Structure 1
Amino acid sequence: MLSTTSLALQYGYVKISYEGLHQATNGFSSSNLVGTGSFASVYRGTLVNFERPVAIKVLNLKTRGASKSFMAECKALGKIKHRNLVSILTCCSSVDYKGNDFKAIVFEFMSNGSLETLLHNTIEDSESTNPSLNLIQRINIALDVAFALDYLHNDSWEGVVHCDIKPSNVLLDDDMVAHLGDFGLSRVIHGAASQISSDQASSSAIKGTIGYIPPEYGAGGSVSAEGDMYSYGVLLLEMLTEKKPTDHLFGEGLSLHMFCNMAIPDGITKIVDSRLLIPFDEGQRRITQQQNMEDTIRECLVSFGRIGVACSQEFPNQRMSIKDVINELHAIKQKLSC
């Protein structure tokens, strides 16, 4: 087991102890718990060495794969830096007060929570400035995630596949800028570390979350950038419709992809989140200066839906490229801004 010191030295992080994290979260109090996942629980905390609140991801080491997830995330985020990726601040590999192994990762705290919460939380917080997401905000978020994927796939140190693109892994900061997080399932796809072990290869079919996993993974295919594009396409369609891919509406013979594909273009207004039909700008002000705004919004919704459908095609070689996605989203944003 790597110690806190060796991890800090290996990845250049500030050293932090279990005691420090225990104090930062008031003993990992439930009042500071902001989320739970397959491998970990996330707490909000305050550390002496950091001016702003932090998010502390505590691994559940009793869950199979949690330790591998910890090391994969430390390795990935220790070498990749981008405006639209969640930044790792430090990590801890130690023992708790009972002598049990303890692993945690400390990230920037994202004050506006996850995309999943903003899309699906029906209780509007009267103190929130963003109780729901309008069309322009969703396009900006889609662009932010696309920028992150373009960097990971094409510009990062060795090429990285995220393997778990979904709304709960898209986090929003004070300015509603989206940051892609949770690299516990990530894989390097080329370069010196591109060889996937037999253990990784055999488990590739379950890398991801049900509803977002590309069909080739289910057939035992290797992880790939095209796999991330499939998950991203599903995410876009979820942003468009406010329906999860696991919604009770979908099952035998019908998927979120098919549901949207059949409705585009003529039935677009029947399937979209109704809040997207209201013309608001990024400051939540109603847009009145543009004539035929309803027609423009409809056209943009159709274009957005077509991108999601194109990315979530069944076969990898049919999926839209990330570069084309970015260009198309920019065009939609420009049309709304005219």
Structure 2
Amino acid sequence: MAQKGESMIPKGCSFVRPISEGAFGQVLELWEKSTGKSYALKLIPRLTEADQKRAEREVSLLERFRHSRIVGLHKSFVIGGYHGIVMDLGKRNLKDLILDFESRNELIPLEVAVQIGIDIAEGLCVMHNSSPHAITHGDLKPENVLLSEDNRAMLCDLGAADASGVNTSHSAKEIGTFEYNSPERLDDTDQRGTPASDVWSLGVMLHRMVTGKPLFGVDR
């Protein structure tokens, strides 16, 4: 049976499996015949102008930030009402790693947690030191941190990223993920966030990795 989105796979690639599906689209694993490599295909529906801008912003930032700690862009295209973004494929994301250890009542080894934290910080440093304006990730959480075979981390899902301090038509409560949002983003202002709010999110993730428990309440 064909999977949803399988008909939009670029020429020269074959469908492997669905990876995830969320509010902003779905992600599939592809295999490229010419290179023998696997990639992630993110399909973002272009239903509204906001959808289009989100996809175009993510592609623009991935093209701009060519760095080992930020997911690499392979190609992008528009087809059938969707914007397709072909990117590096991680073995899993940080949430998968966290839940794997917690299911066994074990903690992630400290040296692994520290290295992941350093990798995330390096990726954020590239974004935050961008010129002429700092770029904030805006939705930093374990699901948006990909891990390689040896657990080296790279940031992904830059669709919520934007220039630091830029107001939007969305409430801060509608941007990002509650458990990882900084306090200033949970008031009634339309603040997308600052580099400091990304650092807060990193701190919450580090707490989860080294203690095995969410910083605030129960993980959703």
TM-score normalised by structure 2 residue count: 0.82
Between Structure 1 and Structure 2, the one with more strand by share is: 2
CA-CA distance at 1:218 after TM superposition: 1.9
- Cα distance in structure 1, aligned partners of 2:23 and 2:33: 29
- Cα distance in structure 2, aligned partners of 1:241 and 1:65: 38
CA-CA distance at 1:182 after TM superposition: 0.6
- Cα distance in structure 1, aligned partners of 2:151 and 2:39: 17
Which letter does structure 2 place at the counterpart of 1:206? Answer: E
- Cα distance in structure 1, aligned partners of 2:15 and 2:132: 34
Which letter does structure 1 place at the counterpart of 2:8? Answer: Y
- Cα distance in structure 2, aligned partners of 1:106 and 1:57: 6
Which letter does structure 1 place at the counterpart of 2:197? Answer: G
- Residue of structure 2 equivalent to 1:104: 84
- Residue of structure 1 equivalent to 2:148: 173
- Residue of structure 2 equivalent to 1:317: none
SS of corresponding position for 1:91: strand
- Residue of structure 2 equivalent to 1:42: 27
- Cα distance in structure 1, aligned partners of 2:108 and 2:49: 36
CA-CA distance at 1:179 after TM superposition: 0.5
Which letter does structure 2 place at the counterpart of 1:149? Answer: L
Q: Are residues 18 and 116 of structure 1, via their aligned partners in 2, closer, same or farther at CA, if it must alter by over 3 Å?
A: same
Tell me if structure 2 keeps the 8 A contact 1:166–1:235: yes
SS of corresponding position for 1:33: strand
Any gaps of 5 or more consecutive residues in structure 1? 1-16, 27-31, 96-100, 125-130, 251-338
User: Does residue 56 of structure 1 match 2:46?
Assistant: no
Percent identity of the aligned residues?
Answer: 24
- Compute the RMSD of aligned alpha carbons: 2.9
Any gaps of 5 or more consecutive residues in structure 2? 1-6
Tell me if structure 2 keeps the 8 A contact 1:80–1:156: no
Tell me if structure 1 keeps the 8 A contact 2:119–2:153: yes
Q: Which of structures 1 and 2 has the larger relative contact order (alpha carbons within 8 angstroms, sep 6+)?
A: 2
Q: Are residues 93 and 205 of structure 1, via their aligned partners in 2, closer, same or farther at CA, if it must alter by over 3 Å?
A: same
CA-CA distance at 1:187 after TM superposition: 0.6
Which letter does structure 2 place at the counterpart of 1:188? Answer: A
- Residue of structure 2 equivalent to 1:229: 199
- Cα distance in structure 2, aligned partners of 1:201 and 1:83: 32
User: Does residue 18 of structure 1 match 2:8?
Assistant: yes
- Cα distance in structure 1, aligned partners of 2:169 and 2:141: 22
Which letter does structure 2 place at the counterpart of 1:164? Answer: D
CA-CA distance at 1:61 after TM superposition: 4.5
Tell me if structure 2 keeps the 8 A contact 1:84–1:147: yes
CA-CA distance at 1:233 after TM superposition: 1.2
- Cα distance in structure 1, aligned partners of 2:171 and 2:60: 20
- Cα distance in structure 2, aligned partners of 1:79 and 1:42: 22
CA-CA distance at 1:162 after TM superposition: 0.2
User: Does residue 71 of structure 1 match 2:51?
Assistant: no
- Residue of structure 1 equivalent to 2:180: 212
Q: Are residues 54 and 156 of structure 1, via their aligned partners in 2, closer, same or farther at CA, if it must alter by over 3 Å?
A: farther
Alignment partner of 1:187 out of 155, 159, 162: 162
- Cα distance in structure 1, aligned partners of 2:56 and 2:190: 23
Between Structure 1 and Structure 2, the one with more helix by share is: 1
SS of corresponding position for 2:90: coil
Aligned pairs for 1:1-338 (under 5 A) are 18=8, 20=10, 24-25=14-15, 32-61=17-46, 65-95=50-80, 101-111=81-91, 113-121=92-100, 133-155=108-130, 158-189=133-164, 196=166, 200=168, 202-219=170-187, 220=189, 222=191, 223-245=193-215, 247-248=217-218
* Matched residues, number: 210
Q: Are residues 67 and 247 of structure 1, via their aligned partners in 2, closer, same or farther at CA, if it must alter by over 3 Å?
A: farther
TM-score normalised by structure 1 residue count: 0.55
Over residues 18-63 of structure 1, what are the superposed CA-to-partner deviations in whole Å (9 max), with x where a residue is unaligned?
Answer: 352695216xxxxx01222321211111123544100111124459
Q: Are residues 233 and 103 of structure 1, via their aligned partners in 2, closer, same or farther at CA, if it must alter by over 3 Å?
A: same
Which letter does structure 1 place at the counterpart of 2:144? Answer: N
- Cα distance in structure 1, aligned partners of 2:127 and 2:34: 29
CA-CA distance at 1:173 after TM superposition: 1.1
- Cα distance in structure 1, aligned partners of 2:181 and 2:26: 23
Tell me if structure 1 keeps the 8 A contact 2:30–2:38: yes
Tell me if structure 1 keeps the 8 A contact 2:44–2:83: yes
- Cα distance in structure 1, aligned partners of 2:37 and 2:144: 21
Over residues 192-228 of structure 1, what are the superposed CA-to-partner deviations in whole Å (9 max), with x where a residue is unaligned?
Answer: xx8x3x6x15434422011111121222153211111
CA-CA distance at 1:135 after TM superposition: 1.3
Which letter does structure 1 place at the counterpart of 2:143? Answer: S
